[in-house]
A = this chain, B = another copy of it.
Amino acid sequence: MGSSLFENLTDADGHAHVVSISVFVAVLCLCIVIGHLLQENRWVNESITAILIGCIAATIILLWSKGRSSHILIFNEELFFIYLLPPIIFNAGFQVKKKQFFHNFLTIMLFGVVGVFVSSAIIAAGSWFLFPKIGFVGLQARDYIAIGTIFSATDTVCTLQVLHQDETPLLYSLVFGEGVVNDATSIVLFNTVKKLNVSRLKGWAAANVLKDFLYLFFISTALGVVAGLLTAYTLKALYFGRHSTDREIALMILMAYLSYMLSELLHLSGILTVFFCGIVMSHYAWHNVSENSRITTRHIFATLSFIAETFIFLYVGMDALDIEKWKMSKTSFGTSMGIYSTIILLILLGRAAFVFPLSALSNYMNSKTERVLITFKHQVIIWWAGLMRGAVSIALAFNQFTYSGVTWDPVYATMITYTVIVVLFSTLVFGFLTKPLIKVLLPHRAMDKNQRPERRQNDSPKEDAANLPLLSFEESATTNIVRAKDSLSMLIERPVYTIHRYWRKFDDSYMRPIFGGPC
């Protein structure tokens, strides 16, 4: 009796599948409700809530099954990379304030690309030097390089939940942009160094890493842009007199997903592709659909991203109690604490080593223009925002140290538990302190003044914002045309600004008439 087809389909295994999906979905619902209730809370945020609920759920499951069934908790990389990461990254591209992002493009790239290289080098060298001294041996040279990239992938969700896009646009844009570029860079770098023949490392190897990296970066971006433009053109061409909301929404969702899968299929970086696909779709395709499609797509992408993020943190929380890996680890308590401290210390150092110098460089480049500079307080916040480690670190660690989520090597099992612990510690402790820290560094509303020292006399924040070149780019672009007589000298002095202006002209004259957009 009963219509449970699963039972007949795949026996006990299939049934376990249904059980774990049910448990996950139920706990997800709980997370959403509790997250909503705690939204105004001073300390916790959604990530911390989800991790804690995950830990509690895992404890209950462990007690329930009397310590046997930790099978439900195995981290599934395929799930993560095929189903959870794409919506998060696509939504980031779809909702990004494009003007801000491209206006600060050079600085974001400095932090997101150069920063990962610096941080990876420091963490890899530091762990290679320090781990054996503490008493943790057994790792190869390629493992240390992998550890460098694994612990350079940041998770800026915590910080973004606290910052406000309208109050501190530059800061928000930098933290957000770096977060996305950092994830992509870490994954690309991880895969590039994984293919290296470490035993014959020569001077050319570093150059090759850079070459491969740049190739991947540009081809992946181009694929995303092409996918986005194709969607925009299809939606524009299909609209002859009647809209079909369901088809429009379906096409946007499917094309976004297709761009990611195609990119992975071609051995490119799906994360970069889907990010730029999101940007192009929101710039062109979104304007070709009906009003209802616009509302639906905007909210459904945000919702999917929200569910995926909550799911990941829940997963991390549950995975922390995978007792099999705990049992397998053979290192003593003292050694373990030493390793944790070393990794945390290296993360703090590795990030400080690029945030402050690169901020100074960015300020120097922008000092000749009217652009806003990065104050020291903002530098501290940028540094802090990237201290948290998240799901990407875990996924990369599983990729490096397990085979399909399982490992029998005690050293590798230890590395997995270390990664999980570092992610938990950084998210819980650093995440816990984020809200108070930002409250101290940026007292509410006062931050308007901190960020724009040159306009301090203007006190109305709203009017102030409207007059800033940073926010109303079109207006300043047109009023500045008089000054921009010598285009060549401008291109040298303010390259991004000038490129942006020419791009807008090109966009208005050629791209928008073909692919759609606000007229």
Contacts and interface: CB of A to CB of B under 8 A. Distances in A.
A133 B452 CA distance: 90
Contacts of A264: 3-6, 18
A267 interface: yes
A299 interface: yes
Contact of A247 (B32, B245, B251, B267): B32
Interface string A181-199: 0000001101110110000
Contacts of A303: 245-246, 249-250, 253, 296
Contact of A9 (B77, B192, B262): B77
A267 B2 contact: yes
Given A238-B36, A299-B245, A29 B254 contact: yes
A296 B307 contact: no
Interface in A3-38: 3-10, 14, 17-19, 21-22, 25-26, 28-29, 32-33, 35-37
B255 A29 contact: yes
A212 interface: yes
A153 to B, nearest CB: 13
B194 A8 contact: yes
Interface in A223-278: 234, 238, 244-247, 249-251, 253-255, 257-258, 261-262, 264-271
A98 B2 CA distance: 27
Contacts of A190: 3
A266 B6 CA distance: 11
A476 interface: no
A218 to B, nearest CB: 13
Contacts of A489: none
B36 A4 contact: no
Contact of A25 (B195, B258, B310): B258
A187 B3 contact: yes
A1 B194 CA distance: 9
Given A3-B188, A399-B5, A296 B300 contact: yes
Contacts of A21: 82, 261
A46 to B, nearest CB: 10
Given A35-B247, A194-B8, A296-B295, A3 B269 contact: yes
A17 B78 contact: yes
Contact of A250 (B6, B32, B257, B269): B32
Q: How large is the interface on A (under 10, 10 to 19, 20 to 34, 35 or more residues)?
A: 35 or more
A258 B29 contact: yes
B268 A2 contact: yes
A299 B306 contact: no
Contact of A254 (B32, B36, B269): B32
A246 B29 contact: no
Nearest to A404: B10
Contacts of A360: none
Given A262-B22, A267-B3, A292-B299, A307 B191 contact: no
Interface in A200-233: 212, 215-216, 220
Contacts of A18: 82, 261, 264-265
Given A3-B270, A247-B306, A404 B9 contact: yes
A102 to B, nearest CB: 24
Contacts of A33: 234, 238, 251
Contacts of A10: 78, 404
A1 B293 contact: no
A263 to B, nearest CB: 8
B3 A300 contact: no
Contacts of A25: 254, 257-258, 261
Nearest to A273: B3
A129 interface: no
A255 B300 CA distance: 16
Contacts of A310: 250
B262 A81 contact: no
A195 B1 contact: yes
A505 B233 CA distance: 52
Contacts of A130: none
Nearest to A294: B295
18 contacts: A1-B216, A2-B195, A2-B216, A3-B188, A4-B265, A5-B77, A6-B78, A9-B78, A14-B78, A21-B261, A22-B258, A39-B244, A245-B302, A247-B306, A250-B306, A254-B307, A295-B296, A296-B299
Given A245-B302, A246-B299, 18 more contacts: A1-B192, A1-B215, A2-B191, A3-B216, A3-B220, A3-B269, A5-B81, A5-B264, A5-B395, A8-B194, A9-B77, A28-B254, A29-B254, A36-B247, A247-B306, A249-B303, A250-B306, A254-B307
